[in-house]
Each structure stands twice: as structure tokens, then as C-alpha cells.
Amino acid sequence: MQTPVCRLSHLDLPNDVFIKRDDLYPFSFGGNKARKAELFWEDVEALKADYIVTYGSSSSNHCRVIANLAARNGIPCLLIAPQEKSEKTFNRDMTGLFGADVLPVPVEHVKDTIDCTLEKLREDGYSPYFIMGGGHGNLGTQAYVNVYEEIRRYEEEKGWKFDRIFHASGTGTTQAGLICGQLLSGEHARRITGISIARRNPYGRDVVVQSVKDYLKEQGKDTLYEDKYVEFVDDYTEDGYGSGSPAIDAWIRRMLIHEGIPLDETYTGKAFAGMCDYLEKNRVIGQKILFIHTGGAPLFFDYLMKRDYDECTGAELRNEK
Ligand SMILES: *Cc1c(COP(=O)(O)O)cnc(C)c1O
């Protein structure tokens, strides 16, 4: 399913910025987790699995999408979640609405718990299917190899190419998929930059590299790997996962007011703000930039619940442009 690409035309930006609206991907509020989930579901069906187990915080986009998928198809879903302080979030509420079971465990016991749970389910006669946190793995990577193909098709229709691509990078397969798509296409010129939302280097980049290698290996194309194409920027992680900043705040408001596009503090707002700062610092001007909106709409509403906009005047907001 091809998602739309829109040009940002109401903000005065020094580059020609376009957004690929993967947040409009048509399942469960869209986003990259919905794209990945679709491929996992095909695998579940092929293997005739009848129980889905995954890992992630119950407030994550990944868990919401997987719980929705399981509920739609009438099979049980268990979310193994790290023990965390329990904040109310819209994703968590929806996970409940979908009837998924949540099993909270201390982080150090996650791996054992997953192994035991799968074994127990098999003993009980189920055929469980396990999906790694964030939809990690070659199928997750495949989802964004497909997106790279969509981008190429768009460019072919338009008769020009984007100079650079940016997106929020977390567990790494969104970035790995885009990079693999580029390597497989034989185009090697353009930079695909992942703005890290939490992980620091070298770890964050290493995980992307490993995902790229794993996928290429599976395709029998190991020799295509080139290290210089993995750019993982960790300058904008703030205080880690979910932490905001006044700059992120300003971009969320600007993008919603002037372009009508919602961003959130954890992923897309952080990455968009990071991208703008990065472009400025590196004096990139007049280029065609593609930002991939990886979704997370429910997090926009979490963000909104925490804010009080009553004190802002319309004139103040308009001046921020
Ligand atoms: C999970 C997520 C990401 C990061 O994707 P990875 O493939 O884990 O790097 C980016 N944006 C949103 C909205 C997400 O939910």
C-alpha cells in the first residue's frame, strides 16, 4: 500500500522538504509498526500459528498494532512487558481494548520469560508465534525495503530524485530496510540519515549495521554491504526515550498549525526537530529532502494531554513560523 508524499509548502524552510506519510498507512493508526505487522501476519498465516507473543512496553506503538492484529484475526495475544512506571497512555488503553494479556517482568528476566512462555504454550497444544520488540528482524527490514521501492517509484513518476532521506531511528529495522533498499537498487549516492530517538553510538549504529547484514545475507547479497551508508545521528536523544525539549515542542506546534501534520515527542517530533537542526549545522540549503513520517499518532494525543495551550495567543503561534 503506497502512502502519500506531501511537500511542506506553508513553512519557510531553507530546503524543499517533503514528507512520506507512513502515518496514514491504513491499519491501526498507521506507522512503521503497522507496515511491519502486515508482513509478520503473512508469516503467522503461512505457519498456521494460533497465538502471538511479543515483547515491548504496553504503551508502545508496536504492541498496540500487534494486539490489534491478533484481535482482528481472533487469536490470543500475550505482551511480555518490562516492569515500568505505569503512566496512562492511549496505546496502553487500546492494548486493553484489544484484549491482549500483559505479563510484566523485570528487564533482566525478559529473555527467560519469553523462552518459558513459548515452551509452556507449546505444551498446552498451541502453535505460538514470537515477534521481537519493535518488529525487529528481517521481516521488519523487508517492510522498509518495500518503502524504498515506493520512494523510487515516486521519483520515477516525478522525474527527479530526493537528495537526502531522514527518519526517526529506534530499534533499527526501518533504517536497515531503507539502506538495504538502496543497496539492492544499485543506487549508492544518497545519504539516509537515522535520527536516534534514544540509543547512543556505537551501539545504536551497530544494531542497524547488523540488521543490514542479516537481511543482505538472507537475500544472498552479502557483498553489497558498505559501511559508509549507515548514518546514525545520536545528537538529539535528549534524556533518552520519550524525553522532550523546547525545540521539539516548537516543531510539533509549527508542523500542526502550518501543515496540519501531527508529530509526537518520542519519535517523529524529535526526529524532525533533529533533522532541521542537523541541516542548519551542516549548512544544507536548497536541497530536496524527504522525511519519513513513521507514525505514532496516539503519542501525539499523550503529548497534548500533558500540555496547556490556553496561555498562547494566536498571534504568538503565527509568529513562530
Ligand atoms: C518504532 C518507531 C520508530 C522507530 O522505528 P525502528 O524501526 O524501531 O527504528 C519510529 N517512529 C515511530 C512512530 C515508531 O513507533
Secondary structure E strands in the chain: 5-7, 16-21, 51-55, 77-82, 101-105, 128-131, 164-169, 191-196, 231-233, 288-293
Contact assessment for residue 317 and residue 257, using Cβ atoms and an 8 Å cutoff: yes
Dist CA 4 CA 185 (whole Å): 21
CA 279 vs. chain centroid, Å, equals 21
Lowest-pLDDT choice from 28-32, 181-185, 309-313: 309-313
Identify which of 167, 294, 301 to mutate to test ligand 1's pocket (most ligand atoms within 8 A of the CB). Answer: 294
Which residue stretches of 8-89 are H helix? 32-46, 61-72
Sheet of 101-105: strand order equals 101-105, 77-82, 51-55, 128-131
Residue 135: all three cell numbers together: 518488529
Q: Which residues pair with 231 in a beta bridge?
A: 193
316 vs 47, higher pLDDT: 47
266 lines ligand 1 (CB under 6 A): no
Is 17 in contact with 291 (CB distance < 8 Å)?
yes
Q: Is the pLDDT of residue 116 over 90?
A: yes
The number of the ligand 1 atom at minimal distance from the alpha carbon of 140 is: 7
pLDDT tens track for 141-156: 999 999 999 999 999 9
Classify residue 107 by its DSSP letter: G
Pocket lining: 291 vs ligand 1, CB cutoff 6 Å: no
Residue nearest atom 3 in ligand 1 by C-alpha distance: 170
Q: Name the more confident of 240 and 33.
A: 33
Closest ligand 1 atom, CA of 144?
7
- Is pLDDT of 314 > 80? no
Please, which pLDDT band fits residue 321 given cuts at 50, 70 and 90?
low
Distance 8 CA to ligand 1 centre (A): 22
Cβ pair 299, 265 in contact under 8 A: yes
Interhelix angle 32-46/61-72, nearest 10 degrees: 40
Q: What is the pTM of this model?
A: 0.95
When pLDDT is cut at 50, 70 and 90, the band that residue 180 belongs to is very high
Packing angle of the helix pair 32-46, 138-158 (nearest 10 deg): 120
Can you give the pLDDT at residue 316?
64
Instruction: Indicate the DSSP class of residue 22.
Output: G
- Residue linked to cell 533499527: 172
Atom nearest to 177 CA in ligand 1 = 7
- The 8-class DSSP code of residue 23 comes to G
Among 174, 211, 300, which residue has the most ligand 1 atoms within 8 Å of its CB, making it the best to mutate?
174
Q: What is the pLDDT of residues 187-231, one digit of tens each?
A: 877 999 999 999 999 999 999 999 999 999 999 999 999 888 899
pLDDT average, residue stretch 265-271: 97
Query: In the prediction, which pLDDT does 189 show?
Result: 78
- Mutating to test ligand 1, I would choose from 141, 197, 263 the residue with most ligand atoms within 8 A of its C-beta, which is 197
Residue 202: is the preceding peptide bond cis (ω within 30°)?
Answer: yes
Please report the pLDDT score of residue 142 as a whole number. Answer: 98
Highest-confidence range of 58-62, 172-176, 302-306, by mean pLDDT? Answer: 172-176
Q: For cell 528481517, name the residue.
A: 138
On average, the pLDDT of the chain sits at 94
Give the residue whose CA is nearest to atom 5 of ligand 1.
170
Distance 280 CA to ligand 1 centre (A): 24
Closest ligand 1 atom, residue 36 Cα: 7
**Could you tell me the distance, in angstroms and rounded to a whole number, from the CA of residue 2 to the centre of ligand 1?**
18
pLDDT of residue 312: 61
Instruction: Please give the residue that has the higher pLDDT: either 188 or 60.
Output: 60
Is 286 exposed, middle or buried (CB count within 10 Å of its CB: 0-12, 13-18, 19+)? Answer: exposed
Cβ atoms of 293 and 22 within 8 Å: the answer is yes
